[in-house]
Amino acid sequence: MRVECRWVGRMPYKECWELQQQLFDELLAKRGEESDFAGTIIFVEHPAVYTLGKSGNISNMLIDEARLNALGAEFYHIDRGGDITFHGEGQVVCYPILDLQKLGIGLKRYIELLEQSIIEAVAEYGIGACRLAGATGVWLCDRVSNAEGESIERNWRKICAIGVKASRYVTMHGLALNASTDLKWFTMINPCGFVDKGVTSISKELFREVSFDEASKVLCEKLLANFGLVKG
């Protein structure tokens, strides 16, 4: 199956949301055609913006509108799954607009493949990431021994958030991988609704800068491989 991989640079959230909707509508219009075209994957950086999923809780936004405006950030309540998250400079935001019917997979498997692609992408940097039961996205934790010598997990921190929408087997929204994101932005929310877990980035874990361009290319390779797609 072919897919278009599109790097759109830095784009305001609303403008990119409209682009997603346009590509979504175009892909739906092609439903039933004899074609090996599965859709488009967008890679983008957004200016500072907080987004809240359709079932999210506004109480997880910890600052008021005046403070939000003073920081120069935007806020949108949108139609994806998940709770509140942040998008900004140094973050690889990825929006796959894909026809799951053509790929022969359901939504659950789609999310699993997104998570697997992220896990493999950060592994290229020597970072061991994993899934966390009951919490969509990709996580890191520290494994230590307790007084009894048993291995325990602590300091859970999210490196990539996932929030998607699928309608008539076509996807929208996607994932946000923290490459070199300024993590202070996450202190103003309960990220993804969690109050007992943190947030991290590739750069923080490595103690060196990892750019959007570098991380997005690694992620793209993993997505293509796991979904069995080729650029074209």
Which runs of consecutive H residues, i.e. helices, occur in 124-227? 202-206, 212-227
| d(C-alpha 133, C-alpha 143), whole Å | 16
Burial class (CB in 10 A: 0-12, 13-18, 19+), 38: buried
- For residue 88 the two structure tokens come to 């900004």
Element (H, E) at 66: helix 65-70
Phi first, then psi: what are they for 54, rounded to 5°?
-65, -25
- For residue 95 the two structure tokens come to 């929006």
Radius of gyration of the chain (CA): 18
5, 94, 160, 192: which is the annotated catalytic residue? 192
102: closest CA among 229, 231, 192?
A: 229
Verify whether residue 130 is a known catalytic residue. no
- Close Cβ partners of 168 (under 8 Å, ≥ 6 residues apart): 28, 31
Which residue in this structure is represented by tokens 């987004």?
51
Q: Which residues are catalytic?
A: 192
